[in-house]
Structure formats: C-alpha cells, structure tokens
Amino acid sequence: MVVHGDTVRQENGTGATSSSRLRRKPKSFLKLILFGFALVGLPLIIALINSAFSIDRLADQSRRAVYQAAQIAHGSRVLADEIAAMERAVRQTHILGDTSLLENYFRAHKKFESTATNLFELSLHTEQKQLLEQMQLLEESIFGNVSAMKQSPEALRDLVGKFVPLRDSARTFSAVGYALIEREVGEMQDMAGDARFTVGWQLLALIPFAILLAFIFSLRIAHPIRQIDEAIRTMGEGALFKAIRVDGPQDLRYLGERLDWLRRRLLKLEEQKTRFLQHVSHELKTPLTAMREGADLLAEGVAGELTEEQQRIATILYNNSIQLQRRIEDLLSYSALQTEKAALVKRPANLAKILDAVLQDQNLIIMSKGLKIDVSCPELMVDCDKQKIKVIVDNLLSNAVKFSPAGGCIKIWASEEDETVRFDILDAGAGVDEVDREKVFEPFYQGRQVLDSHIKGTGLGLSIAREYALAHGGTIELVQQATNGAHFRLTLPIRDMEGTL
C-alpha cells in the first residue's frame, strides 16, 4: 500500500492545525535537500556572524584605545614642552631684564591651555583628570604672578622656583598616562582571549550539532531512496505480493505509487501466465496420455506383430511421449507452486528407497546412454513428503543424465550430519558455466550448454526442486567443483518441520 500523506485528526481547533503543520512533509525532494542544507549551515552561519561582531567590537575598542593613548601621550609631551618653554622665557627675562622675552612665555601659556582643554575632552581616567586640574591651577597661579610682575624683571626670580612642582606634575601625568595605556593593552589582550575562547567553544558546540543535523537529514533523505531501492530489488526477485510503501516528500511518494502500480500490473501478468500454463498443460496432458498408451499398445504388439523397424519406431514414440509427459508435469508442478496449492504431506520415508525408485524409472535412458551409476546411500529415514522428495531426486538425476556424455559415470552419495541429511549428485558433464551459476535455479532458464537431444527441457526442473527443498526447510545448492561435472547438494532436516508451499 502506498502512503498518500499524513492524515491528522483535528480535535482541538488551533492545536490540531499547528500539529498538522509540524507533521506536514515537504512536497519536493529538492526542497527537502535545500531545507536540510540550510538548517545544517544555519548554526555555522550564526557562529560566523557572532564571531565577526565580536572581532568588530574588539577592533573598534582597540582603535579608540589606541587613538586616546596616542592623544594623551602627545598631549603629555606638549604640556612638558610648553612648561619648559614658559620656564625658559621667565629665566631669560629675569637674567636679561628684557620684558619683550615674555612674549614667548605667553605663547607657551596659550598653547598649554589649548592642549589641556583638548585633553579634558578625552575620556580620561579620574587620576589623570585630577593631575591635569592640578597642573592647570599651578600654571594659572604662575600666569597671574607673571602678568602682575611683567614690568619688573627682577621680581620674576621668585617665580622660577614655582615651575618645579609644575614640571613634576607634568612628569607624573605622563607616567600615569603610560601606565594606563599599558593597562588598556592588557585589558584588550584579555578581551581578545575571551573572544577567542567564545569563538572556540561556539565552534566546538556548533560543529558537532551541525554534523548531527547533517546525519539526521542524511538519514531522512536516504530513507525513501532505500525504500525505492528495496522495492525495485524485491520486484526483481519476483516477490510481487509485498506492497510497496515509500515515505518522504510528495514526489517520492508519487514514485512509490507508480512502483506499486507496476507491482500490481506484474502480479496480474504473472497470474495470467500461471493460468495459461495450467490450461495449456491440462489441455496437452489428455491427448498425450492417449498417444503414450497407443504407442505402448503398438510396442506390445496388441494391434498385430510388428517388424523390427516398426518396433523400434513404436519404442521411440513411447519413450518420447514419456519425456513430454514429464515436461507437462513440470509445468503443472510449477503452476501449483506459483498458486501455492502444493501442500506437504509428511511421513517417515527411506531416502535409499526413494533413490532406488527414481533409478528404476530412469533405467531405460541410463542404459541407452551406457552410463554408470556409482551409488553410496545408506538407509536414512527422513520426515518428508515422499512424492515431492522423489520429484527433487528425479529432477537432479534427470539433469545429471541429460548432461553426462555416453559412457560417463554419475556419482550419488548421502550422509547424515547434525540432524540433517545431505544428498549429493555429481555428473560427468562439462559442468555449469560461471555465467550460469547464479541463474541455474531460475524458472525457464536453459543455460549455455547445447545438448544433442530431440526434446529440449523446460528449464523448470531445478527451480521446482529448489522450491520443494525450501518447503521442507532444506536447501539445494550448486557446489563449486574443482574437476569437471556439475555437483548439486540437497540438504534436508531429519525431524519433521511443518511447512506449506
């Protein structure tokens, strides 16, 4: 039966609708593959985007920190230079007594104020702000004194000493700035380590998750493909009674429906072929029986004494009618196998006596070909359907007689091993071609060996023998043979095993 879709019973309104949406299958195999790739790639894409944002934030913070560190370092040098310039201008004015030299002081003062103002606009730490404010107060105090004494160069001598704490504050401000820069560098290194750790554990967590998703979707994608492959292989092996079911996307389910339609069509054709074989076999069996009995009566001289030539012709007619009857019986047996009408009727039977009966039935053709039969079969009792085991042995012996050259030797032996009976038969022919070994038990398969015979076989003997052997819980196989000849082995359980074909 082919699945046409999931049917979800709506019991609770919206809840049932959402449940049906979750259980709905994709309509296309291609959509399923694309959805699988997208879902597998999504965790990795998220990890990459998160890593990119982390790196971008780290780079931006590093850029700001480097810029601020450079500005503070530059401002510290400028402040130190301007303090030195102001002190030099005051000294020169005092020593030379030239007030015009204070112009250099005032220019340095303006640059000092401008640089300090620019530094305040940066994101300074509290310690840096305090030092900068202290420098500004000291410098403003010195500036007020210089402005008041600019007309008295001699009075400037006392102001020179006030530049010492201002220089010390500038050096302290520069040292604190470099210490803070080093701390910023350390913090950025820690952030970089944290970013690496975050990216690492994300990858360690997401890569196995992505692999797990890929494995799940691989199974989801491969499951309907395996179902289709199994359905095709099952049909190829002739098991047409098993319904084909393919789950998955809508297009693959539709393909499963078509395969099931093909299975039903093949099954119908097989049934028609079986009915045809049954009808033809039954139609041929009645006139052939009359022909065989007529030839038998002629050979026995019931209709009158026959000449030697006529006797030979009557015997040929009788023997060939027997062969044709066997072929028709093979067709009937095969038809019964196909329609499962051949039931087993098991009773204890002596395998040696079954073999003797088969040898007696085929004695005429064995003698006509001058064959030697080497038999080693002890008294072995088997619970079996005697008639069907006889058919198996008869088919194996017929096959060996048919392919053995005139004057050849056919070896037959049986043994008991582990609650089973092994029956082996080895002919004196050319053996089975390697190409034919896998197909030798298939119905109607003739093989590549060309025989010098007026009546060609149906190719059903070994197939029927195998089916009967399987029905008994046994096997029949073609054994690999180092020398010439085909070696078939029948294995049957000794104890009763119920079964029906």
Q: Could you tell me the pLDDT band of residue 285, with boundaries at 50, 70 and 90?
A: low
Half-sphere exposure of 338 (CA within 13 A, CB side): 23
CA dist., res. 89 & res. 103, Å (int) = 8
Residue 450 has pLDDT above 60, yes or no: no
Q: pLDDT tens digits for 370-395?
A: 999 999 988 888 888 888 899 899 88
All residues at 6 or more sequence positions from 347 whose CB lies less than 8 Å from its CB, including other chains = 383, 384, 385, 386
Q: pLDDT tens digits for 181-190?
A: 777 777 777 7
Query: So what's the pLDDT on residue 282?
Result: 63
CA dist., res. 317 & res. 302, Å (int) = 16
Residue 10 has pLDDT above 70, yes or no: no
CA dist., res. 37 & res. 238, Å (int) = 38
Give the other-Cβ count within 10 Å of 87's Cβ.
20
Among 93-102, 119-128, 271-280, 433-442, the least confident range: 271-280
CA dist., res. 110 & res. 366, Å (int) = 135
Q: What are phi and psi of 500, to 5 degrees?
A: -140, 140
Q: pLDDT tens digits for 486-500?
A: 899 999 998 764 443
CA dist., res. 116 & res. 403, Å (int) = 117
The three-state (H, E, C) secondary structure of 295-326, written as one string: HHHHHCCCCCCCCHHHHHHHHHHHHHHHHHHH
Note whether 105 and 87 are within 8 A (CB).
no
Q: Could you tell me the pLDDT band of residue 44, with boundaries at 50, 70 and 90?
A: confident
Q: Which residues of 97-121 are buried (b: 16+ CB within 10 A; e: fewer)?
A: eeeebbebbeebbebbeebbeebee
CA dist., res. 391 & res. 334, Å (int) = 12
Half-sphere exposure of 48 (CA within 13 A, CB side): 6
Note whether 132 and 83 are within 8 A (CB).
no
**Mean pLDDT, range 254-273, rounded to an integer:** 83
Query: So what's the pLDDT on residue 333?
Result: 66
Q: How many residues does the chain have?
A: 501
CA dist., res. 350 & res. 126, Å (int) = 113
- Distance in Å from the first CA to the final CA of the chain: 25
Half-sphere exposure of 362 (CA within 13 A, CB side): 25
Query: So what's the pLDDT on residue 412?
Result: 93
